Structure 1
């Protein structure tokens, strides 16, 4: 199984504490590394957080460094006599429990909440055409492919909740810097294997945030009448052609909305507020949108969701009796049977195909009612078992796709040279595993961790035990000063990040 057991996760965390260069948190679980932070998330899931990065290359670099750290910890834990074959994967849904975990993103900004949400939401809704992880709807009874399986778990447009009523836009707008900047916290995204998809996810979103900060109102003209509905439509359309209704009238596809944002970014490339890497982001952005004109086949070696879709269809091509076009029909049948089962003494229990199709089964009336529907689609009950077996097989393939440590499907395809997802400049991954980014407060913090690791130091979120403090109130901090604290003049902790 690729799902963590409590012992597996704890063994990895213990190994991190004994083997990695780190400082523990005084009042928080996990360890702070030069390359990020590792801690235990809900459900006994080890979670890696990258450091603050100043460009999309570093984001991908440190995300990949985190992957390697996690894979190494799993390999180390597997060597324990009490544990065997501990595996880790990156993914955002669990088909067994129907649970979801987000790949959270944070962006520094100085805009008001209302301005940010209104202009950013159309981008978040439509960017899934290239940022979707691909997979199946874990909440559906059958097999429903989605560009972004995370979308099925979003239930509102704007929300402050990150575990239940999740929204496209999260209102956790914390002041994690002392220079007037705030943290834009996004939880609608997904963990990605494709380098270019991950790079574009953060690069394009950062440019949209910059446009909003500068008052360019990038969402004007593409605000959606029903963003959550539109996101569901886009997530279920591998051709990337379906159109959603706009708030001001008219229709637009996900690609068309993305082109709107791209063109505004290109028109402002020379503006002072744009980052120095904006031109390269726009070039890659335009390239992937042009690529999606032939979706899904055109993106089948580049984007996570398209790679997976091609793989699933290829598997069906070798599975006798079941075709891709049949999946929606069998999914409807399975949903009807599950609904009928709830009205029997067997509600909530696992039942087999033989039980379902037996003449004396409590589901016999439902089976009879569905028989005509199957015949109209050219299907037979004899294929039902094959469909259920295929469903489990595809779930397993999806789960193994993002397995880390060299045994995953994506890594195997990449090693075989059949994928086209890499970007120049995403390199030095091994160095990033033990060193912080070259600039910013992550550089200062990471160097402090390297300096004080092993000296019984701890990273504290308050000041009760400190004699010296490193003030990291600016994300772009470049000075390394450690003034001695006059405890009579201490600044309240909440003023510091």
Structure 2
């Protein structure tokens, strides 16, 4: 299989709970969080020393974009590193509030909806070949993404006609189009904005905005891994035919409302299939495709896990309480309801729904499960801690991280984007970095060598 660049963008929910009746603009709270990550640069759209991007998105949401990764495992690591970085900012941010006489707690949630019904996203990015017909690829991918929520959804309790109902996905009810160039006004399954952040003659970006943010490392690994595998097989001519849906937007919502996974959705040709059956059609085609390729340990593992997950979902979804976010959340809430003898409309149920996504590990329900060994891990904590300050060593992110360390060590003003690095002011210099696969830039190496005694990770 050809190499590929991956990236994940997560917008986070933010709440300030004051001690007393205090009004504080959320922009100020976010500013204190920024101070912990990017000293002396608020307000900012800034890149970090690990190659990632951190900025304020629409609606005053902190957003973390992973550095470019060329392995799915690296992507899981750096996605989790974003959580850890935000968590690490909380004590200092709360202390800054106390200095101003504004005591209280800051909560950061890796989820996709707020109490007012607004949604914020988790965006997936896959570098793809320019010479492949983009529209033919997207038509084959849409049924896959519509049904993938059965193992990648994060779960949500919503009131429907006044009664609480459990949904598989947080984002599914907010999707309005198959494809669109917008990420807010007409949210789609596949976003068509063509920003490859690379050589535009060779590549374009597949930008997926339909997925939920995942707390589960396993769910992230499988979500990205299956999508990458399906994309590769379509690029290489292993097409998936006959899976076109009559109404993808209707289908994605219907699937989300059925935790039993028995709901049949209508295809263009009049047939009706369940989400599991559609996923199995992609799985079997992927198995055929991998049989023609040189052995790839990660993709072989993804295929194996995909098959096991579909089998368990078919038998009883609750078997996947360790692996799948929506199953774990549903299990927690159901256990609570049975223990307390209350209903799903109890206010504490909606609070649990939110607390599942709290990134503070001593407080978040997902992390309390993790601390008790109740979830499946994919990566080690040591790797996550390292990724907070060290970029992937096999992509362009390494060049960016080295450059930022150099500029900070020299106390130089700088400007950084995905494709260029710039030293500002006297002897201003711009360095282009158009190849996302390259961890080496001769000019940056020359600059780095000027900083005596500064350790750079290679």
Q: Per the shorter chain, which TM-score range?
A: 0.7 to 0.9
CA distance in 2, matches of 1:175, 1:140: 43
Match of 1:33 in 2: 49
- Cα distance 1:318–1:277, how it changes in 2: closer, same or farther (>3 A)? closer
Match of 1:470 in 2: 431
- Cα distance 1:12–1:250, how it changes in 2: closer, same or farther (>3 A)? same
Q: By how many angstroms is 1:41 displaced?
A: 1.2
Match of 1:196 in 2: 218
1:267 aligns with 2:288: yes
Which of 234, 247, 250 matches 1:212?
234
- Larger % of strand: which? 2
CA RMSD of aligned residues (A): 2.6
Match of 1:176 in 2: 197
Match of 2:413 in 1: 457
Match of 1:66 in 2: 82
CA distance in 2, matches of 1:258, 1:52: 28
Match of 1:3 in 2: 15
CA distance in 2, matches of 1:130, 1:147: 9
Which of 386, 391, 397 matches 1:442?
397
Match of 2:168 in 1: 147
Which of 10, 14, 19 matches 2:35?
14
Q: Does the Cα contact within 8 Å between 1:159 and 1:167 map onto a contact in 2?
A: yes
CA distance in 1, matches of 2:396, 2:435: 7
Q: Secondary structure at the match of 2:179?
A: strand
Which of 245, 249, 253 matches 2:274?
253
Q: Secondary structure at the match of 1:314?
A: helix
CA distance in 1, matches of 2:402, 2:315: 47
Uncovered stretches (5+) of structure 2, i.e. residues with no partner: 1-12, 17-25, 446-458
Q: By how many angstroms is 1:250 displaced?
A: 1.4
Q: Which has the larger radius of gyration?
A: 1
Q: By how many angstroms is 1:464 displaced?
A: 9.9
Q: Does the Cα contact within 8 Å between 1:173 and 1:182 map onto a contact in 2?
A: yes
Deviation digits for residues 390-413 of structure 1 (CA, Å, limit 9, x no counterpart): 1x3222111111111221111011
Which of 471, 475, 481 matches 2:442?
481
Q: Does the Cα contact within 8 Å between 1:210 and 1:273 map onto a contact in 2?
A: no
- Cα distance 1:321–1:423, how it changes in 2: closer, same or farther (>3 A)? closer
Match of 2:125 in 1: 106
- Cα distance 1:157–1:276, how it changes in 2: closer, same or farther (>3 A)? same
Q: By how many angstroms is 1:259 displaced?
A: 1.3
TM-score, length-normalised on structure 2?
0.83
Q: Does the Cα contact within 8 Å between 2:413 and 2:423 map onto a contact in 1?
A: no
CA distance in 1, matches of 2:245, 2:82: 36
Deviation digits for residues 3-36 of structure 1 (CA, Å, limit 9, x no counterpart): 25222111111222229xxxx69x9623433241
CA distance in 1, matches of 2:282, 2:94: 47
CA distance in 1, matches of 2:55, 2:309: 34
CA distance in 2, matches of 1:404, 1:464: 35
Deviation digits for residues 390-443 of structure 1 (CA, Å, limit 9, x no counterpart): 1x3222111111111221111011101223x21267851111110000201112
Q: By how many angstroms is 1:281 displaced?
A: 1.1
Deviation digits for residues 53-88 of structure 1 (CA, Å, limit 9, x no counterpart): 111111110011111000001122112223432221
1:158 aligns with 2:191: no
- Aligned residue pairs, count: 410
CA distance in 1, matches of 2:112, 2:259: 19
- Cα distance 1:227–1:481, how it changes in 2: closer, same or farther (>3 A)? same
CA distance in 2, matches of 1:184, 1:268: 21
CA distance in 1, matches of 2:416, 2:378: 37
Q: By how many angstroms is 1:203 displaced?
A: 0.7
CA distance in 2, matches of 1:192, 1:136: 16
267-276 or 109-118, which deviates more? 267-276
Uncovered stretches (5+) of structure 1, i.e. residues with no partner: 325-386, 485-497
- Cα distance 1:211–1:401, how it changes in 2: closer, same or farther (>3 A)? same
Match of 2:328 in 1: 307
Q: Does the Cα contact within 8 Å between 1:109 and 1:181 map onto a contact in 2?
A: yes
CA distance in 2, matches of 1:293, 1:315: 25
288-297 or 195-204, which deviates more? 288-297
- Cα distance 1:460–1:423, how it changes in 2: closer, same or farther (>3 A)? closer
